[in-house]
Amino acid sequence: MSKIVLKTENLGISFGGLKAVQNLNVEIKEGQLYGLVGPNGAGKTTVFNMITGVYKPTTGKFWLDGEDLTGKGQETINHKGIARTFQNIRLFNNMTVIRNVMVGLHNQPEFSCGVIASVLRLPKHFKTERAMRDRAKEILDIVGLLDERNNLSCNLPYGKQRKLEIARALATNPKLLCLDEPAAGMNPHETEDLMKIVRRIRDEYNITILLIEHDMKFVSGLCDEITVLNFGTSLVQGPPEVALNDPEVIKAYIGG
């Protein structure tokens, strides 16, 4: 049995009287591709915001590799190993593609270089910069953006911007990678390409992936297990082919 990477227990948050998410219990095993689906406003992104530290959960707890991270700050949670992408793209627009990824590498212990060393231009600074650039190129190669590395990130087409967000998150060397609607706004060809990339990240780098997606073909073709959310509560959990055919889920999506 593989070990559990992320575990949530009764995780919930309410904004005033609105219970955005309630009693969410999820167990994600190492190397799994886990999907989080549900109609609009079901609370999927809120779950992401809780486990990445943007919101502090009002009830329940969550653990990463058995370590309780409930209520920790965003930076701390990122250092512990949860990286994310955003539904509405948030890149560093005035930087080139490669530098976006290099920001992601900032906190990796092998690229540490103090402020003083940088200001005094000690050899360590140059060594670190070179190593960071090489590593960033490797990561860009994974998502297929190596040729775009010197362009400004704001000049990339939408699909590539999404891939760059994944690359930047990947650069922080996460245990769990959270992708918020990675295929939104992509054409079928790009979506297929993205599926290959996500699978490759999981298989080659052994990173567990949690993703939100509306494209059901994407979800059923990729995920090992999914949770369907509706009105902040989990409806069904299980393999996609079982969960998506559940009468409750069909009712939630189509109404009735």
CA distance linking residue 6 with residue 178, whole number of Å: 11
Range in contact with other proteins (rule: CB under 8 A) among 8-16, 146-154, 182-190, 211-219:
146-154
Burial (CB count <10 Å: 0-12, 13-18, 19+), residue 117: middle
Tokens of 81: 């190993």
- Contact code string over 18-57 relative to other proteins, x by CB under 8 A: ----------------------------------x-x---
Among 67, 68, 75, 147, binds other proteins (CB under 8 A): 75
Task: Report the residue number, 126 or 205, with the smaller CB distance to other proteins.
Answer: 126
**CA neighbor of 182 nearest in space, from 204, 165, 203:** 165
**CA neighbor of 228 nearest in space, from 207, 206, 245:** 245
**CA neighbor of 225 nearest in space, from 34, 48, 6:** 34
Q: Percentage helix, strand, coil, to 5, in the chain?
A: 45, 25, 30
Among 44, 72, 99, 202, binds other proteins (CB under 8 A): 99
Tokens of 84: 């994310």
Question: Does residue 121 bind other proteins (CB under 8 A)?
Answer: yes
Provide the residue type at 227 as one letter. T
Question: Does residue 123 bind other proteins (CB under 8 A)?
Answer: no
Range in contact with other proteins (rule: CB under 8 A) among 13-21, 38-46, 115-123, 215-223:
115-123
Range in contact with other proteins (rule: CB under 8 A) among 15-23, 26-34, 57-65, 127-135:
127-135
Among 55, 92, 231, 253, binds other proteins (CB under 8 A): 92
Task: Report the residue number, 178 or 186, with the smaller CB distance to other proteins.
Answer: 178
CA distance linking residue 51 with residue 218, whole number of Å: 23
List 67's β-bridge partners, or say none.
64
Q: What residue ranges bind other proteins (CB under 8 A)?
A: 52, 54, 73-75, 78-79, 83-84, 86, 90-96, 98-99, 102-104, 106-107, 111, 113, 115, 118-121, 125, 128-129, 132-133, 149-150, 152, 168-169, 171-172
